[in-house]
Amino acid sequence: MKRRTLLGALGALMMIPFAGLRKASARPANFMNYEQLHSKSDLIVIAYPAKQRIVGQAFNFFNVDAIGVETTFVAVATFKDKRKEYGDSFVLYHYQMVDPAQPIVDGPMFLSLDLKNKAQYLLFLQNEDNELFKPTTGQMDADFSVEKLRFPAT
C-alpha cells in the first residue's frame, strides 16, 4: 500500500511542470518521404558545394533575416536528371540566414552548407529553369531536400 501511495505521489509531482501548459502550436512543415521526394524531383544527386554567390538584398522571411544565395555544386553521383544538357555542375538557389546565431521558433529551415571541408550532400531538387534549381520541399523547408552525408568529397 505504501508503495502505491509513493508511486502515485511521484507521478503527481512529475505532472506539476506540465500543469500550466496549453495546447502547443507549430507551423505545418513540407516534409516528404523519399518516395515523394523522388517523384517530385527533377535532379537527385550527390554533390559538394564549390562556391557561393549572394543574390540581391537581405529581407525578412517569416521573422528571420534572410538573403538569397546561388550555390554552385559539383556532382559526384547522379540518380535522376531531367535536364536537357547534362554536366558535372549545377546551381542551387536557396535562402540563407543573415545571422546564423539568430534564434528561430517555428520558423523556416534554411540551408547551411559546408564549403570549406568539401562536405557532400544528397540533394532532391526541382528545375527553376535549365540552369537553376530550387529545393524540392521549397525554400521554407529547404533543409528537408538536402541531406549532409558522412564523408567529404576527395
- Smallest CA-to-CA distance from 113 within 72, 80, 81, 76 is with 72
Q: What is this structure's pTM?
A: 0.77
Residue with cell 540518380: 79
Q: What is the pLDDT of residues 40-80, one digit of tens each?
A: 999 999 999 999 999 988 888 888 899 999 999 999 999 99
Q: Are 94 and 113 in contact (CB under 8 A)?
A: no
Q: In the chain, what are the domain boundaries?
A: 30-148
132-135 and 64-81 as β-strands: parallel, antiparallel, unpaired?
unpaired
- Angle of CA points 51, 55, 56, to nearest 5°: 160
Q: What is the pLDDT of residues 18-35, one digit of tens each?
A: 444 444 555 566 678 989
Grid coordinates of 65? 533575416
Distance of CA 17 to the CA centre of its chain: 32
State the CATH class of domain 30-148. mainly beta
